[in-house]
A and B are shown apart, each in its own frame.
Chain A
Amino acid sequence: MEKQATRDAYGKALVELGRKYADVVVLDADLSKSTKTADFAKVFPARFINAGIAEQNLMGMAAGLAAAGKVAYASSFAIFATGRAFEIVRNSLAYASLNVKICATHAGITVGEDGGSHQSVEDISLMRSVPNMCVVVPADGMSTAKAVEAIYHRAGPVYLRLGRPAVPNLYDENMHFNIGRGIELRPGSDVTLIGCGIMVAKCLEASEILAREGIEAAVVDMHTIKPIDRELIVRQARETGAILTAEEHTVLGGLGSAVCEVVCSECPVPVERMGIMDLFGQSGTPDELLAYYGLTVDRIVANTRLLLQKKSRII
């Protein structure tokens, strides 16, 4: 299977966006080679602003640029873009509902060897809790490219969560990326696996293993965490009676929580939330860490089996 890092797709898509729209400006905080905004900087040096190692000012300047009519794409690592700059994001970008697109790379534990200080496992919760903020977590390179354009057309602040390592390509260029509309990648009647980011490909793989055991698992790419696709969640809850969510993020406040909020009020069914269990990350290779924190295809399969037992007890 072909692979591409979502950050690489981001870098390329930004250049295209810059060609199409003269009001796009890009900001970074001394990480442009890693976040891939360096691609844009090379082609459009006059529309690229390096804040230096100053994430708070990065976001503050982005707010000012947006208030003056620009569409500002502001990048850093997820930990610094959402963590260090949080209150500026909240009060300058979101409160004023400005056109700033926070495109943060190196999210989650797949940052790898840099360790826990650099692995943001709480950025989705942070961004999701802020009014006016839209939160998008693409699963592959193609959907990232589409998202980069889609968020340009959405008024107001957006958080786009991107990763460091290469991930399997899931989509071709005919895919439609609609903010707020999850994608049903595979139909199924027994259970629904809802993933975001790198966990979508793993859910798909798990569904194939489950199918061999006679378990028909639907798979949803829930690329928009906010606004969440309530209709799709309710439909899947009704039709399959059980939901497993999977995210490279703490289970507190991210995709799993967002799904539960819909399910518990509109169609209560058992939900198994897979993610990081209220822990910090640590150094290791991305694959070792995914195994350590239980974010593997095998664990999705095993947890789905347990979930189905729970479902049968309830019914």
Chain B
Amino acid sequence: MREITESAIQAVSSKALTLRQDIIRMLGEAGSGHTGGSLSSADIIACLYFWEMNIDPMQPRSAERDRFVLSKGHAAPLLYAALAERGYFPKSELLRLRKLGSPLQGHPDMRKVAGVDASTGSLGQGVSWAVGMALAAKIDGLDFRVYTLLGDGEIEEGLVWEAVMAAHHYKLDNLVAFLDHNRLQIDGPICEVMSPEPVADKFRAFGWETLSVDGHDHRQIMEALNKARTIAGRPTIIIADTVKGKGCSFMENKVEWHGSAPNKEQTSQALAELGCYE
């Protein structure tokens, strides 16, 4: 259980803003990449990396550390921004996103970046990794926790539900999954392309502790994380209602911003909206 103080919330909010600014800078420089889904998860990641998780950038491979698996691997810019801000590598590296020879690959590569716990990018596979890691903790009697982040389009993959079933079967109460419920995938709104709804009922039916939060409200996210620590014998899903592209008015709820990066002008405009004038 971690204490939810005003100052903790304040600190996490300011980190979330920094992450959003870094995402825009990185993607603007890279000229390609996934903007919308990186911005929509920024508040969740800020809570995990700057409040919840038991991690130490000086010991990125410690056996006791908490693990995070970015199952929606295309939000790599967000993960990299959090790791750099947390001190795993210099922030100057961020501007080499997606460049030849950079450790910051288009999708996370655990062999290239300290702090990346799983190589992801093919949707649906990360949550299986997370289940495996949580199982390893049980086998070894270690009390680290495992966190993962899924997209709401991603859960259309059958593999997700195989993993969800296994997590319940093995009573993995050391596993917490977030669902970034921004209601968009690439070809359009999830409800028009291939509806996974009602998502809460599905997770409940699979035996998971099912919590719902506003995915941009840090206090609610923190409270849900604390609640998850009290649940014994089963995993927890935190369904986070989010806005894809959150923080940049012209990107919000726009399906086109799934896989495109801002040009120079758009980068300046987005940064201005995020409070930076460069």
Q: Which residues of A contact B (CB under 8 A)?
A: 28, 30-34, 38, 50-54, 56-57, 79-80, 83-84, 112-118, 282-285, 288-289, 292
Contacts and interface: CB of A to CB of B under 8 A. Distances in A.
Contacts of A31: 186-187
Contacts of A283: 98-100, 102, 104-106
B241 interface: no
B184 to A, nearest CB: 11
Given A113-B30, A115-B107, 5 more contacts: A30-B193, A51-B194, A53-B153, A117-B109, A284-B99
23 contacts: A30-B185, A30-B193, A32-B187, A34-B186, A50-B194, A52-B185, A52-B193, A52-B194, A53-B123, A53-B153, A53-B156, A79-B122, A80-B122, A113-B30, A115-B121, A117-B73, A117-B106, A117-B107, A117-B119, A118-B106, A118-B107, A283-B104, A289-B100
Interface residues of B, number: 33
Residue from the set B32, B100, B123, B186 with the largest chain A CB neighbour count within 10 Å: B100
A30 B186 contact: yes
A50 B106 contact: no
Nearest to A50: B193
Contacts of B73: 117
A116 B104 CA distance: 12
Contacts of A53: 123-124, 153-154, 156-157, 185, 194
A117 B194 contact: no
Nearest to B74: A114
B120 interface: yes
Contacts of A117: 73, 105-107, 109, 119-122
A30 B194 CA distance: 9
A114 B106 contact: yes
B127 to A, nearest CB: 13
A45 B120 CA distance: 33
B156 A52 contact: yes
B274 to A, nearest CB: 24
A118 B73 CA distance: 11
B100 A284 contact: yes
Interface in B147-180: 153-154, 156-158
A107 to B, nearest CB: 15
B28 interface: no
A34 B120 CA distance: 21
Contacts of A285: 100
B33 interface: yes
Interface string B187-198: 100100110100
A115 B194 contact: no
B93 to A, nearest CB: 13
B187 A116 contact: no
B156 A113 contact: no
Nearest to B185: A30
Nearest to A37: B187
Closest 10 CB pairs of A and B: A52-B194, A117-B121, A284-B100, A115-B106, A52-B156, A115-B105, A113-B98, A114-B106, A53-B156, A117-B107
Contacts of B120: 117
A276 to B, nearest CB: 15
A292 B194 contact: no
Contact of B100 (A54, A114, A292): A292
A112 B33 CA distance: 11
Interface string B114-141: 0000011111100000000000000000
A109 to B, nearest CB: 11
Contacts of B190: 52
B98 A52 contact: no
A89 to B, nearest CB: 15
B107 A33 contact: no
A115 B99 contact: no
B154 A114 contact: no
Contacts of A79: 122
A79 B157 CA distance: 15
Contact of A282 (B32, B100, B119, B154): B100
Nearest to A57: B158
Contact of B187 (A30, A83, A288): A30
